């Protein structure tokens, strides 16, 4: 134990002695005493009988019975829920709260910023709660603080980061709630940055999965959150040299599991064991949350849920399987400069869109709904897919580029049309331009022809008049005496 920790323990004992001496009748809040091992096992067995929401979905793979009060298994990329048990029940998150703390820290600071520890950050904590012994007025870089929060679950570090980012711990809690609402959390309210018990500090398994989904989108946080131990080296502003080890047994390898990407533990007497973990296998990146469990079952329940997910579900590419929509006979959605069929699609189905489906299900069994409510720049529509009412993923219809595949946009095309060979796609725009050009040429031709005819008409008329005048002059003039024509009968 380092000297700073000994100093804080001594201060705590002295403070407690003075408190009881001066205020012997004062009341104070205490956490409920933990249950005995026998009582804990009994409660866990009772929780196993609680209904599993996803088991109510027709033909959905049956999920395992676990001793957690609440749990969820969610795909990190699509948000598809594979397993849910009391997923919206409000429970205490304990130190899994720190996932949100680190999200805000990463969004609002740089790794080399210096975080100084105030008196309140260090001494406002319950005696004996998780810490790494940092003293008042000491300082650490933000990067080291993130390791302190995620690896060592240090509460004083969470407090110091909260003050550094928002100016005060209360202001930081407000930001936590704002971020939770932004992520879609409906049953979450944070009071502090560390997760120590407060009746008004709660979340749900589903909300915690949404927070974890945001957390694991950050490469930095994922890396730090998947660290089994960290060496804190002494500096001018923090003199202690020590190593802290992660208590997450799937991260440390005490319970081996393939593809672990990180996570966070949590415990208080009221919350019991809480655990958030992320693992990736077979193209799926799953987030598992278990709340109100008994040690060490939170780890084994997590393994059960991961096994359930990776065994019973698979990734299905939408563009390779979608047949309910066709664009091949809808010339309006094509554009090109070639009227002989060399046209390109305006719209395409995003080839990276995929679903998370039970392995026993085929694509044709899914229901789909098209929504045009999208604000993304290149997205035209969104297709949501469901299996017996359960959401399994989304595909987007995008403005096509040269490399995109054609998106089939006409629903339920008859087989006889689908089988038509060598369909020529005609570009209406070019046809209109061609027709107008030809019409213009015809009009110009007729105008010019009319002008020529008019010119010829006028020319001939003038010529005839001149001839008439000349003939008249010949009849009356001296060169044409009337006696000359007496022998002719006109």
- Which positions make up the binding site for substrate? 264
CA distance linking residue 394 with residue 317, whole number of Å: 10
CB 141, CB 116: distance < 8 Å: no
CB 132, CB 152: distance < 8 Å: yes
E-strand spans in 76-228? 81-85, 114-116, 139-141
How many Cα atoms sit within 13 Å of 286 on the Cβ side?
Answer: 30
CA distance linking residue 35 with residue 292, whole number of Å: 13
Residues of each annotated binding site: 264
Q: Determine whether 95 is an active site residue.
A: yes
Q: What is the b/e burial string over 361-400, where b = at least 16 CB atoms within 10 angstroms of the residue's CB? A: bebeebeeeeeeeeeeeeebbbbebebeebebbbbbbbeb
Residue 172: left if φ>0, alpha if ψ -120 to 50, beta else—which one? alpha
Which member of 70, 85, 95, 130 is catalytic?
95
CA distance linking residue 260 with residue 254, whole number of Å: 12
Q: Determine whether 153 is an active site residue.
A: yes
CA distance linking residue 188 with residue 204, whole number of Å: 7
Rounded to 10°, the helix 98-107/205-215 angle is: 30
Which member of 98, 179, 285, 292 is catalytic?
98
Which member of 70, 130, 153, 404 is catalytic?
153
Query: Which residues have a catalytic role annotated?
Result: 95, 98, 153
């Amino acid at each position: 134990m380092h000297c700073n920790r000994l100093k804080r323990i001594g201060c705590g004992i002295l403070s407690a002695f003075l408190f009881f001496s001066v205020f012997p009748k004062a009341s104070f809040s205490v956490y409920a005493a933990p249950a005995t091992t026998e009582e804990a096992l009994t409660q866990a067995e009772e929780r196993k009988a609680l209904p599993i929401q996803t088991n109510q979905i027709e033909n959905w793979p049956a999920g395992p019975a676990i001793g957690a009060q609440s749990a969820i298994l969610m795909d990190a990329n699509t948000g598809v829920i594979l397993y849910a048990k009391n997923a919206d029940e409000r429970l205490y998150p304990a130190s899994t709260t720190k996932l949100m703390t680190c999200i805000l820290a990463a969004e609002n600071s740089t790794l080399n910023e210096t975080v100084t520890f105030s008196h309140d950050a260090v001494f406002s904590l319950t005696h004996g709660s998780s810490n790494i012994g940092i003293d008042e007025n000491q300082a650490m870089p933000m990067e080291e603080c993130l390791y302190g929060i995620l690896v060592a679950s240090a509460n004083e570090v969470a407090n110091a980061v909260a003050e550094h980012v928002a100016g005060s711990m209360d202001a930081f809690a407000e930001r936590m709630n704002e971020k939770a609402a932004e992520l879609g959390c409906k049953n979450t309210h944070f009071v502090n940055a560390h997760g120590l018990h407060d009746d008004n500090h709660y979340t749900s398994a589903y909300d915690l999965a949404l927070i974890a989904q945001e957390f694991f989108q950050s490469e930095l946080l994922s890396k730090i959150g998947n660290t089994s131990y960290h060496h804190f080296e002494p500096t001018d502003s923090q003199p202690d040299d020590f190593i802290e080890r992660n208590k997450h047994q799937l991260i440390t390898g005490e319970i081996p599991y393939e593809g672990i990407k990180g996570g966070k533990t949590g415990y208080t007497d009221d919350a019991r064991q809480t655990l958030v973990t992320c693992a990736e296998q077979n193209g799926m990146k799953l987030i598992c949350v278990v709340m109100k469990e008994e040690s060490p079952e939170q780890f084994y329940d997590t393994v059960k849920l991961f096994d359930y997910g990776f065994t019973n579900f698979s990734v299905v590419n939408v563009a390779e399987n979608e047949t309910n929509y066709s664009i091949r006979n809808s010339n309006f959605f094509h554009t090109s400069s070639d009227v002989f069929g060399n046209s390109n699609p305006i719209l395409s189905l995003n080839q990276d869109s995929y679903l998370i489906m039970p392995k026993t299900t085929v694509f044709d069994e899914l229901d789909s709904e098209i929504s045009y409510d999208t604000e993304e720049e290149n997205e035209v529509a969104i297709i949501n897919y469901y299996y017996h009412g359960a959401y399994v993923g989304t595909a987007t219809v995008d403005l096509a580029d040269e490399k995109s595949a054609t998106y089939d946009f006409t629903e339920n095309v008859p087989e006889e049309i689908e089988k038509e060979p060598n369909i020529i796609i005609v570009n209406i725009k070019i046809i209109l331009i061609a027709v107008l050009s030809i019409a213009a040429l015809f009009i110009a031709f007729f105008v010019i022809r009319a002008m020529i005819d008019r010119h010829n008409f006028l020319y001939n008329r003038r010529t005839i008049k001149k001839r008439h005048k000349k003939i008249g002059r010949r009849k009356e003039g001296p060169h044409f005496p009337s006696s000359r024509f007496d022998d002719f009968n006109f």
